[in-house]
Amino acid sequence: MFTEKFLEVVNHEGVVSIVTCSNNEAHAANTWNSYLVITEDNKILIPAAAMIKTEENVKANPKVKLTLGSKEVMGHMYMGTGFLLEGTAKFLTEGDSFKMMFEKYPFLTRVVEVTVTSCKQTL
Amino acid sequence: MFTEKFLEVVNHEGVVSIVTCSNNEAHAANTWNSYLVITEDNKILIPAAAMIKTEENVKANPKVKLTLGSKEVMGHMYMGTGFLLEGTAKFLTEGDSFKMMFEKYPFLTRVVEVTVTSCKQTL
């Protein structure tokens, strides 16, 4: 699922957009590439401090899209590449993943667990 | 509308997410901070090469949200800041803005003109 190229992007700093949708209105929240924790089962864990609207949307419609990229990683043709990920999200407030993330990011109040179903290089 | 801080972010490289929505499904396309051209009337011009789904969505629902940020620009409390912009988008294929953009970005096929109604620093 996660290619070497994708992991290379995650290892460069940049803005991740977390896109959710309910009532035909999209919302975009952000985090940093360096905050993404990739697990072995095609999941991405993201520390959430606020993300109120994202949580509200996810309750109504768990589908999420993430975008991220880096101008410092080679793309298909030029320097700079990006990825569009699709999946479903859940907000965690307990459990092993929550504990592990809380140790790493003590500012979090919840953890967004994204189960990724598609990870496409867009550029 | 566009603060000094916002312009500082635009002057650092990073990924912009362009979020649109139709039929209760969000779509996210990307561009680079360095591709944004800010005009004097609260508009942002963005070169579009593909962006097929974005154009389709905009025809059904012109509302767009843009997110961008930079870890290298000071935020409210720490290094790293981001912005969430709201507005409406239109795809241009002619006119002065199109010509100006085409000279700058000869790879474009259309120009996304975003009329920004809100520009909030999120971090």
For residue B1, pLDDT over 90 is answered with no
Mean pLDDT across chain A, nearest whole number? 97
Residue in chain A closest to B66 (alpha carbons) equals A28
- B58: which residues sit within 8 A by CB, 6+ positions away? B20, B64, B89, B90, B91, B112
CA distance B81 to B69: 5
- Residue-range domain boundaries for chain A: 4-78+92-118
Residues of B in contact with A15 (CB under 8 A): 14-15, 17, 67-70, 82
What gap in Å lies between CA A87 and CA A89, rounded to an integer?
7
Specify whether the CB–CB gap between A7 and A39 falls below 8 A. Answer: no
The CATH number of B4-121 is: 2.30.110.10
Tokens of A93: 């407030």
Mean pLDDT, range B79-86, rounded to an integer: 97
Contact A25 B68 (CB under 8 A): no
Q: What are the residues facing A69 on neighbouring strands?
A: A82
CA distance B16 to B73: 15
Average pLDDT over residues A67-92: 97
pLDDT in tens, B86-112: 999 999 999 999 999 999 999 999 999
CA distance B39 to chain A (A): 24
* Token reading at B121: 């620093």
User: Which amino acid appears at position B64 of this protein?
Assistant: V
pLDDT of the residue at B32: 97
CATH no., domain A4-78+92-118: 2.30.110.10
Q: In what order do the strands lie in the sheet with A15-22?
A: A25-32, A15-22, A63-74, A79-92, A110-121, A43-48, A37-38
Asked whether the beta carbons of residue A24 and residue B19 sit closer than 8 angstroms, the reply is no
Whether the pLDDT of residue A1 is over 90: the answer is no
Cβ–Cβ of B28/A70 closer than 8 Å?
Answer: no
Q: Is residue B111 classed exposed, middle or buried when 0-12, 13-18 and 19+ CB atoms within 10 A define those classes?
A: buried
Share of chain B above pLDDT 90, in %: 98
Q: Give me the mean pLDDT over the A14-20 stretch.
A: 98
> Is the complex ipTM higher than 0.90?
yes
In residues, how long is chain B?
A: 123
Positive or negative CA dihedral for B18, B19, B22, B26?
positive
Could you tell me which residues of chain A have a Cβ less than 8 Å from any Cβ in chain B?
13-15, 17, 19-28, 30, 32, 34, 61, 63, 65, 67-71, 80, 82, 84, 122-123
pLDDT in tens, B38-60: 998 999 999 999 999 999 999 99
